[in-house]
Amino acid sequence: MASIFTKILNGEIPGEKVYEDEDFFAILDIKPVNKGHTLVIPKDEYKDITEMPEDLVGKYLQVAKKIGEGLIKSLNCEGFNIIMNNKAAAGQIIFHSHIHVIPRYKDDKFKHWPGKEYEKGEIGKYVEKIKKGVL
- pTM of this prediction? 0.93
CATH 3.30.230.10 given to domain 4-134: no
pLDDT digits (tens, 9 = 90+) for 1-49: 899 999 999 999 999 999 999 999 999 999 999 999 999 999 999 999 9
Provide the residue ranges of all domains of the chain, joining segments of one domain with +.
4-134
Q: Are 57 and 49 in contact (CB under 8 A)?
A: yes
The answer to whether residue 112 scores a pLDDT higher than 90 is no
Q: What burial class does residue 39 get, using C-beta atoms within 10 Å of its C-beta: 0-12 exposed, 13-18 middle, 19+ buried?
A: buried
Active site residue 112: no
Q: Which of 37, 98, 100, 112 is catalytic?
A: 98
10 Å Cβ neighbour count for 106?
7
